[in-house]
């Protein structure tokens, strides 16, 4: 791992990760000794063809899936021996997720959708209202906090989803094609909101994307080749 000055421990580090699936009588090797370090305040684009293992890599980095071999470190802590409860707790506090589909709860307002992760974590309602309001305002949604998802545009819905993902101040933000369902102008707006958050909060961000123009504006670009993570350009 390269020297990063004071911040010499990656937020997330995948070490020699292997993952394979059984399909009929065949073994499909998806990841084969993959290594990847995500550093504080750094944005990383994961660009690779469909079926190459992008989602698997994101799921393993986010502790949603366990590797067959290798180790995933979060803040320098190895996670392979953690209990399910400990892994769930780490996901709630250290990792935020943004998906291609916003996955907002339709019966709740934008504010309530962003409050929920904090309430699950056990914060007081007054604290969750304050923080959710501040994040939504920061993302340009201060006038929309009482609106339900159906009353918001696609770009607004995705910005609420981003606000929800960072509500618990995670150290890592993982996004799977977060602008894939949006038109170019809206995608650019959402992407700028993500980059703004990275700079403001020092969160480490890994985005799987097919959008090479957006990928080109990030700090690093990586791909998956023969089951390994390789740096681009």
DSSP string, 141-175: -TT-TT--GGGS-HHHHHHHHHHHHTTT--SEEEE
Task: Quote the percentage of the chain above a pLDDT of 70.
Answer: 97
Cα torsion at 44, 176, 67, 3 (round to 10°)?
10
- Confidence at 5, pLDDT banded by 50, 70, 90: very low
Q: What are phi and psi of 28, to 5 degrees?
A: -95, 115
Residue 2 lies in a domain: no
**Global pTM?**
0.88
Judge whether 93 and 173 are in contact, CB under 8 Å. Answer: no
The enclosing domain of 114 has a CATH number of 3.40.50.300
Q: What is the CA radius of gyration of the chain?
A: 18
- Supply the angle between the helices 154-165 and 125-138 in degrees, to the nearest 10: 130
Residue 1 lies in a domain: no
Residue 57 lies in a domain: yes
Domain total in the chain: 1
Residue 6 lies in a domain: no
In tens, the pLDDT along 58-117 reads 999 999 999 999 999 999 999 999 999 999 999 989 999 998 888 899 999 999 999 999
Q: Which domain, by its residues, includes 176?
A: 12-231
Residue 179: which of 211, 204, 151 has the closest Cα?
Answer: 211
- 172 forms bridges with which residues in the sheet? 95, 204
In tens, the pLDDT along 187-231 reads 888 888 889 888 888 999 999 998 889 899 999 999 999 999 999
Residue 169: which of 62, 90, 76, 93 has the closest Cα?
Answer: 93
Residue 5 lies in a domain: no
């Amino acid at each position: 791992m390269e020297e990063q000055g004071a911040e010499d421990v990656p937020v997330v580090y995948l070490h020699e990760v292997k993952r394979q699936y059984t399909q009929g009588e065949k073994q499909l090797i998806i990841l084969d000794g993959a290594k990847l370090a995500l550093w504080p305040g750094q944005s990383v684009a994961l660009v690779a063809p469909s079926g190459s293992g992008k989602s698997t890599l994101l799921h393993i980095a986010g502790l949603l899936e366990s590797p067959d071999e290798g180790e995933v470190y979060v803040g320098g802590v190895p996670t392979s021996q953690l209990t399910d409860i400990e892994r769930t707790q780490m996901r709630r506090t250290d990792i935020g997720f943004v998906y291609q589909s916003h996955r907002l709860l339709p019966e709740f307002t934008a504010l309530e959708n962003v409050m929920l992760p904090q309430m699950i974590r056990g914060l007081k309602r007054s604290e969750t209202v304050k923080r959710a309001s501040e994040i939504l305002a920061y993302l340009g949604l201060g006038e929309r906090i009482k609106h339900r998802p159906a009353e918001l545009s696609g770009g607004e819905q995705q910005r609420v989803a981003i606000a929800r993902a960072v509500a618990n101040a995670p150290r890592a933000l993982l996004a799977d094609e977060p602008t894939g369902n949006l038109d170019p102008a809206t995608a650019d707006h959402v992407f700028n909101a993500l980059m703004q958050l990275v700079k403001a909060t020092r969160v480490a961000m890994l985005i799987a994307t097919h959008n090479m123009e957006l990928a080109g504006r990030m700090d690093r670009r990586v791909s998956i080749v023969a089951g390994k993570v390789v740096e681009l350009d």
